[in-house]
Structure 1
């Protein structure tokens, strides 16, 4: 004959209501310490986009040292490229005493200086040659499937503008800022057929 005191929970009313987790039906069972699904859904809810998604690229970060009485004082400059991938691109140089602040300033400046450039079917409408200081960059249109044949600052600017098939050649200085500005200058020279017709129309009318 079994001793009733050996298993006190078998005779107590509360023992019949305990589940596998040691709590009643209203308590926590297995995995009861997890958050409510409704709360998790609220935390993971997608946020609304505040604006169009922009391509941001830090091309180069330069460190400058100033010698003072107590030692050396460092400052930083960040060359940033920003674009929407649909024909708008901007370039700026941000300067500050800390790297994150320099990048932030460069990002804001590039967003303010965004310029619309002409793109035709993921490539450029014609050949262009850009010059800035010692930087010289040649860009040529390419057939679909060629890809973005560029590197360094040239590639960053073209990716931000949304060009996917192009041939490039850097012929001048290797300075990052000069190359980026030369590429930006070449993109600003691009014109599509409609723009060229509009520019030539008044000349043809006056001669007639």
Structure 2
């Protein structure tokens, strides 16, 4: 669970309270997803968010329990920098981004949140950054054969 908030909508008859939840799910291997939902009570909001998170699962590219390359991603006011780390370094990340990285099964990574402190925005930005990761390209054998 990333975030729970009580939100209010002002109607003609007064204020209407609802609950918004942001849930992150992952298999701690290579899949992670987030769900954002509202409901009349907390349990309803959590149930809706879990269902959305299951539908929004993405595959994450990992190499030796870290990410294949450095990535900087911006989404609205959120800016996130993710860097691969050596084995044994661990997950160095703040707040909501740490949750996403651990659920994705990434064990060694360094991260920095550069923009807003909004948890929901940072989680969405982290998911998009992980989605943009590409597999490393293997270098071809050198073509230095001499022509006769």
SS of 1:182 mapped into structure 2 = helix
- Higher helix fraction (1 or 2): 1
Higher strand share: 2
Distance across 2 between alignment mates of 1:67 and 1:181: 27
State the SS of the aligned residue for 2:2.
strand
Residue 113 of structure 2 corresponds to residue 170 of structure 1: yes
Give deviations 1:166-204, integer Å, cap 9, x for gaps: 1000011111111001111111111112xx46xxxxxxx
3-state SS of the aligned residue for 2:10?
strand
Greater relative contact order structure (CA < 8 Å, 6+ sep): 2
**Contact 1:126/1:190, CA 8 A, preserved across alignment:** yes
TM-score by length of 1: 0.63
Alignment coverage as a number of residue pairs: 138
Partner of 1:18: none
Is 1:76 the equivalent of 2:19?
yes
- Please give the TM-score of this superposition, normalised by the length of structure 2: 0.87
Considering only aligned residues, what root-mean-square deviation do their CA atoms show, in Å?
A: 1.4
Cα deviation, 1:59-112, whole Å, max 9, x if unaligned, reads 011111233455432101101111111111111201111111111111110111
C-alpha contact 2:94 2:112 (8 A) present in aligned 1: no
Deviations 1:33-79 (A, max 9, x none): xxxxxxxxxxxxxxxxxxxxxxxxx1011111233455432101101
What corresponds to 1:65 in structure 2? 8
Unmatched segments (≥5 aa) in structure 1 = 1-57, 198-208
Unmatched 5+ stretches in structure 2: 139-148
